[in-house]
Amino acid sequence: MSLVVWDDSYCTGIKTFDEQHQVLFGLIDNLLAGVAENREHETVSNTLDALLEYTKDHFAAEEKEMLAHAYPDYEEHKKEHQKLLNNVVAYYVKFRADDTLSTADLVRFLIDWLQNHIHEMDKKYAPHLAPKV
Ligand SMILES: [Fe+2]
pLDDT at 133: 86
pLDDT at 115: 92
Contact 125, 12 (CB under 8 A): yes
- What proportions of the chain, in percent to the nearest 5, are helix, strand and coil? 75, 0, 25
For residues 49-65, average pLDDT:
97
Distance CA 104, CA 45 (A): 13
Between the CA of 100 and the centroid of ligand 1 the distance, in Å, is: 32
Between the CA of 40 and the centroid of ligand 1 the distance, in Å, is: 31
pLDDT at 72: 97
- Virtual CA dihedral for 113, 119, 120, 121, nearest 10 degrees? 80
Between the CA of 32 and the centroid of ligand 1 the distance, in Å, is: 21
Between the CA of 101 and the centroid of ligand 1 the distance, in Å, is: 28
Residue 6, CA distances (Å) to 21, 58, 114 in order: 8, 16, 10
pLDDT at 1: 64
Over 90: is that where the pLDDT of 35 sits? no
List the domains of the chain with CATH numbers: 12-129 (1.20.120.50)
Could you read off the pLDDT of 68-101 as tens digits, one per residue?
999 999 999 999 999 999 999 999 999 989 988 8
Between the CA of 84 and the centroid of ligand 1 the distance, in Å, is: 10
Between the CA of 13 and the centroid of ligand 1 the distance, in Å, is: 14
Could you read off the pLDDT of 15-30 as tens digits, one per residue?
999 999 999 999 999 9
